[in-house]
Amino acid sequence: MLALAAALSGGAGFVLSPAMAKTFRVNVVADPAQMDPITYSEIVAGRILRNMYEGFTVITDDGRNVPALAEKWEPLTTGPGFRFHLRKGVKFHSGRPFTARDVKYTYEALLKPGGKGGLNATYLNIIVGAKELKDGQATELAGVKIVDDYTIELSFTKPDVLFPIYPIYYMDSGIVAELGADWMTKASAGTGPYKFKQWRRGVSVDLDANTSYWGGAPKIDGVSFMIVPNADTALSQYDAGELDFVDVYAAAVRRVLRDERYAKELIRVPRAQSTYLGMNQNLYAPFKDKRVREAISLSIDRNAMIRGLYGGAAFPLNGVVTPGMPGFNPNLPELKFDPERAKKLMAEAGYPGGKGLPPVDISSTEAFKDEITYYANQFNRVLGMPVNVKTVERATFIRAMNAGEVAFFPWGWTADYTDAAYYLSQMWYGPSPYNRPRWKNAEYDKLIDEALTVADDDKRYALYHKAEKVLLDDWGMAPVPMTASVALRKPNVKNVTLTPFGFSLFSKIEID
Amino acid sequence: MLRFIVGRVVGLAPVLCAAIVATFIATRLLPGDPVAVMLSDHSADVQMAARLRAEYGLDKPLPEQFVRYIGDILTGDFGLSFRYVHMPVWQVLKDSLLISPLLALAALALALPVGALAGVQAAAHRNRFQDTAIIVVLVAGLSLPNFAIATFLVYLISVKLNLLPVAGWGTFRQAILPVVILAIPSAAYIARLTRTFMLEVMQQDFVRTARAKGLTNRLVIYRHAFRNTLVPLITSAGIIFGGLLSNTVVVETIFNIPGLGRLAIDSIFARDYPVAMAVVMLFVVFFALINLIVDTLYALVDPRVRDGAPA
């Protein structure tokens, strides 16, 4: 048995490490798919990278965008674009200073063919010369001008007031020369409060505190993102003190909400995910009638859903923009459950008691099977609508939705940056492929086009509210309850929480 | 003897080829497009999708993909993982490679003595209280599913008593519960086998002779009877090891151990074909090796197998 223990420790990467006193341990659902800010495209990597890398701005816990690597910026006078004034005295994890050269380097790395830029590269498409660089016709990004070490000018092909808040992480331009092309397996190249220590695949990603962080050194020694795919395992690890903070996955949410023991450690926030029931008018003729769409919305008992289906782990949503998101409209009227009016509207539309309605599938992925079963039953009972339930493999389903091939479905769109434009300009804007139910309205599109040129936040938000009202008045979709993010936090841990956008920043965490 | 082993190794080749073809076809038949999985919500980004498809060779017709895949296997790197960006499959696998066989081996090392001892005890007290009690435990060990026992033990030992870690991998303490849980059904199986073998042996003349000589019960059982059950026990250990290897999938999932079994499941869900296929092939190799060892053991014991005469 001893020999076996020795074999185990030699062969399978065993390390005998005593638990460190001040490491913050939190769970993530899977291994990240990548650990660099260029190819990065998915949510787990995002949660980890966010603590190592920074952009021009950063999201505060209450959902505001505040300056980070850029101290201030102003629009260019010569055409669309910005002049950014970079923060001085910021050092990368390597010790090299952060300057305008690194900004240009990051953009080029994201756009260069073969550079394998991830999803965030699309935010750079508006910079002059981006297309030429992507196509290999240019070697440099023409629209970027380095004025001096701490001033950089970006020219755009069209105005975009939101550019400063786009999630672009700036990286150290000297890292490849120092550590080679696979530098991301050895170090991090950011400016953030933590730096990369190691990634043990299937076990954890470990970060060390960056003691020379410009925003003040963290008060703990490091962070461990423990890779725990199973909801119950994560909860047991929290119970046993192996995690300081547990992100409770959907499968364990009911159990956690019901258990009195957790009441004082519970954090529950609405997700920054705009949830809706999509009705594609091109695919199911009765949806062309606004009365039918309104009747659908009226026959959803949202409060019963929140209590029953979600066991309390959900919040009502009355529009497109989720609470906490800049541009949210708190004055939207509550969406009512009114079966009588729904029936009346259906009769007016020529379908009394559902007579004459062709059958329709309500479809979604396995994860939404309870929801679609509820809806099918509800529409059948209240409206007499012949609705069948259908579940589809996720990637196939998403592709079908993006192609506008799904008639009737519940879905959600998760925000990648903090401005209501993320929802409004992608989910319901005419030309967007993510306008999955293919609702189209010229007035709406015009309002969105206009909003994206208005730099003043309040004026822009006013335009958002107008556009949102156009959509709601037309019953272009039915907003449905947003599920909650649920987490538990040990009483000895301070200054970390859950926000609608995920974990709060870990830079100020304290562990007693 | 050498000829026998060489013959068996050569015989592995068609098995491996069949496994390669079968896994290739199976992964391509799964619904779901790996590029769509990579892009998730953003799969309408056609530029990005086209780039990824070209990068991973998924824009090529299936026969060409298959030829490329064979090439990747021959060069030994198994191609690039779809799930881990720009990581060769070999790099994804290498940390997991030894974990599952080691878990199985550790469980076997635990199950063999425990099971054998229980079996001997039961046989020695046939039809008396000890026997019945052991059989009840055996039936429970064999019929309770692994994950149910695991959940119960984790709750009791890790959460309530806080004696061992709930899950994870990296320390010796973290390996104890998974190995024990993996060993339970095998120990029960071994105990049942041992009991049956023992009862058979104890009917035989030499045992009666040993008793007639006036040896103590203990000596009769351990020196004479038990020794004779060792041979069939050791040959069945190979088959038991194979079973343990498949069961690591369950234990690795419950205890969050980054072994091959969990990797297989994760990669199938992520449509990471290259990793899934490499894991399946590794399992094929493991099983083939176990069979080879078992056959060799049989051949050593029984000359008829070795010489190719009808058994």
Could you read off the pLDDT of A316-359 as tens digits, one per residue? 999 999 998 999 999 999 999 999 999 999 999 999 999 999 99
* pLDDT, tens digit, 9 for 90 and up, residues B121-147: 898 888 888 888 988 988 888 888 888
Smallest Cα distance from A348 to chain B, Å: 38
Decide if B154 touches A, using CB distance below 8 A: yes
Which pairs with CB-CB distance under 8 Å and at least 24 residues apart come from A451-459?
A: A451/A421, A451/A424, A452/A159, A452/A160, A452/A161, A452/A162, A452/A421, A452/A425, A453/A159, A453/A161, A454/A161, A455/A75, A455/A161, A457/A326
User: Which spans in A349-474 are helix H?
Assistant: 369-383, 394-402, 421-427, 442-451, 457-473
Burial B32-63 (b: 16+ CB within 10 A, else e): bbbbbbbbebbbbbeebbebbbeebebeeeee
d(CA A111, CA A114): 9
B-chain residues near A236 (CB < 8 A): 154-155, 158-159, 166-167
DSSP string across B21-32: HHHHHHHHHSSS
> Which residues lie across from A315 on neighbouring strands?
A482
User: What residue in B sits closest to A404 (Cα-Cα)?
Assistant: B44
Cα–Cα distance, B104 to B186 (Å, whole number): 10
* Identity of the residue in B48, B83, B102 whose CB atom sits nearest the CB atom of A11: B102
Q: Roughly what angle, to the nearest 10 degrees, separates helices B99-124 and B172-202?
A: 40
Are the beta carbons of B228 and B301 closer than 8 angstroms?
no
CB atoms within 10 A of CB A201: 20
**A-interface mutation test, from B39, B41, B177, most A Cβ less than 10 A away:** B41
A337 shares contact with chain B (CB less than 8 Å): no
Looking at the complex, does the CB of residue B99 fall below 8 Å from at least one CB of chain A? yes
> Can you tell me the distance from the alpha carbon of A196 to that of B258, in angstroms, rounded to the nearest whole number?
20
Q: Output Rg (C-alpha) for chain A, integer angstroms.
A: 25
A404, amino acid identity: G
DSSP H/E element including B180? helix B172-202
Distance between terminal CA atoms of chain B? 17
Q: Rounded to an integer, what is the distance from CA A17 to the centroid of its chain?
A: 35
A117 → chain B, closest CA residue = B48
Distance, CA of B298 to CA of B4 (rounded, Å): 12
- Residue A164 tokens, joined: 């400063």
Query: Are A348 and A291 spatial neighbours (Cβ–Cβ below 8 Å)?
Result: yes
Which residues of chain B neighbour A130 with C-beta distances below 8 Å? none
Using the beta-carbon criterion (under 8 Å), do A228 and B167 form an inter-chain contact?
A: yes
Q: Which residue of B has its CA nearest to A399?
A: B43
- Reading the block at residue B88, the tokens are 């060769």
Check CB contact of B253 with chain A, cutoff 8 Å. yes
- State which residues of chain A have pLDDT below 70: 1-21, 115
- d(CA B257, CA B107) in angstroms, rounded, equals 15
Select the CATH number that applies to the domain covering A2-190+490-511 from these four: 3.10.450.710, 3.90.1150.10, 3.10.150.10, 3.90.76.10.
Answer: 3.90.76.10
DSSP B221-267: IIIIIIHHHHHHHHHHHHHHHHHHHHHHHHHHHHTT--SHHHHHHHH
Angle, CA of A324, A330 and A333, to the nearest 5°? 135
Nearest to A116 among B86, B109, B255 (CB): B86
* A227: contact with B, CB 8 A cutoff: yes
- What distances in angstroms separate CA A91 from CA A36, A152, A172, A481, one per listed residue? 18, 18, 9, 44
Residues of A (186-215) whose Cβ lies below 8 Å from B: 200-203
Verify whether the Cβ–Cβ distance B42 to A393 is below 8 Å: no
- CB distance from B258 to chain A under 8 Å? yes
Question: SS3 of A385, please?
Answer: coil
Task: Return the axis-axis angle of helices B129-143 and B99-124, rounded to nearest 10°.
Answer: 150
Q: Which residues pair with A388 in a beta bridge?
A: A361
Q: Do the beta carbons of residue A147 and residue A102 sit within 8 Å? A: no
Choose the mutation target among B166, B180, B241, B267 for the interface with A, i.e. most A CBs under 10 Å.
B166
**How far apart, in whole angstroms, are the C-alpha atoms of residue A35 and residue A53?**
11
B55 to chain A, any CB pair closer than 8 A? The answer is yes
A511 CA to centre of own chain: 28
Closest residue by Cα to residue A294 from A246, A358, A337: A337
Q: Touching check for A33 and chain B: CB below 8 Å? A: yes
Domain residue limits, chain A: 2-190+490-511, 273-484
Residues A512 and A21: their CA atoms lie apart, in Å, by 10
H helix and E strand count, chain B: 15, 0
Long-range contacts formed by A117-122: CB under 8 A, 24+ apart: A117/A38, A117/A39, A118/A34, A118/A38, A118/A39, A118/A40, A118/A41, A118/B85, A119/A41, A119/B39, A119/B42, A119/B45, A119/B48, A120/A40, A120/A41, A120/A166, A120/A167, A120/A168, A120/A169, A122/B45, A122/B48
CB of B86 within 8 Å of a chain A CB? The answer is yes
Question: Which helix (DSSP H) or strand (DSSP E) does residue A266 occupy?
Answer: strand A266-270
Cβ pair B32:A33 closer than 8 A: no
Within an 8 Å CB–CB cutoff, is residue B167 touching chain A? yes
CB contact under 8 A, A434 and B263: no
Cβ-defined contact of A236 to B32 (cutoff 8 Å):
no
Distance CA A219, CA A217 (A): 6
Task: Give the closest-approach CA distance of B51 to chain A in angstroms.
Answer: 9
Q: 3-state DSSP call for residue A34?
A: coil
Is any Cβ of chain B less than 8 angstroms from the Cβ of A2?
Answer: no
- For the full predicted model, state whether its pTM sits above 0.80: yes
Residues 182-241 of chain B with CB under 8 A from chain A are none
Residue B306, pLDDT score:
60
Contact B266/A at CB under 8 A: yes
Kindly tell me the burial class for residue B117, based on how many C-beta atoms sit within 10 Å of its own C-beta (0-12, 13-18, 19 or more).
middle
Residues of chain A found within 8 Å of residue B259, distances taken between Cβ atoms? 202
**Which of B37, B262, B266 minimises the CB distance to A395?**
B37
The residue among A15, A31, A36, A124 with the most chain B CBs within 10 A of its CB, best to mutate, is: A31
H helices present in A209-352, as ranges: 231-239, 250-258, 290-298, 302-304, 339-348
pLDDT < 70 positions in chain B: 301-311
| Number of C-beta neighbours around residue A363 at 10 A | 20
Question: Which residues in chain B are contacts of A227 at CB distance < 8 A?
Answer: 256, 258
- Is A242 touching B (CB cutoff 8 A)? yes
Write down the architecture of domain A273-484 according to CATH: Roll (3.10)
